[in-house]
């Protein structure tokens, strides 16, 4: 992936996926806490649609993370990709 294409939105989606994997969870586990359909959740995880701030707040609550921890994970993803 070209680093110019590696936007904050895609980095955050990658961080969410990584945090889910660390807990042996999948995108399907976000359907209920986000109150979205499965397709909508997976579109966000694929980076086709960005997560909004309300959704991210629900995600960090569900994963028992702080927003800072999630963003730090996204930054780590950027450094790994570079």
Domain boundaries along the sequence of the chain: 3-77
- DSSP type of residue 62: H
> For residue range 3-12, what is the model confidence (pLDDT) as tens digits?
444 688 999 9
The answer to whether residue 41 scores a pLDDT higher than 80 is yes
> What number is the average pLDDT over the span 16-33?
97
The CATH architecture to which 3-77 belongs is Orthogonal Bundle (1.10)
Mean pLDDT computed over every residue of the chain: 90
* The predicted structure's pLDDT at residue 80: 72
Cα 46 to the chain's mean position, in Å? 9
What distance lies between CA 77 and its chain's CA centroid? Answer: 11
Q: What is the pLDDT of residue 43?
A: 97
Residue 53: which residues within 8 A CB-CB, separation 6 or more?
A: none
Percent of the chain with pLDDT over 70: 89
């Amino acid at each position: 992936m070209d680093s110019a294409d590696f936007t904050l939105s895609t980095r955050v989606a990658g961080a969410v996926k990584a945090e889910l994997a660390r807990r042996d969870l999948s995108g399907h586990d976000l359907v209920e806490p986000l109150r979205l359909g499965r397709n909508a959740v997976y579109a966000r995880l694929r980076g086709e649609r960005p997560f909004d701030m309300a959704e991210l707040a629900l995600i960090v609550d569900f994963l028992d993370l702080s927003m800072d921890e999630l963003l730090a994970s996204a930054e780590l993803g950027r450094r790994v990709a570079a």
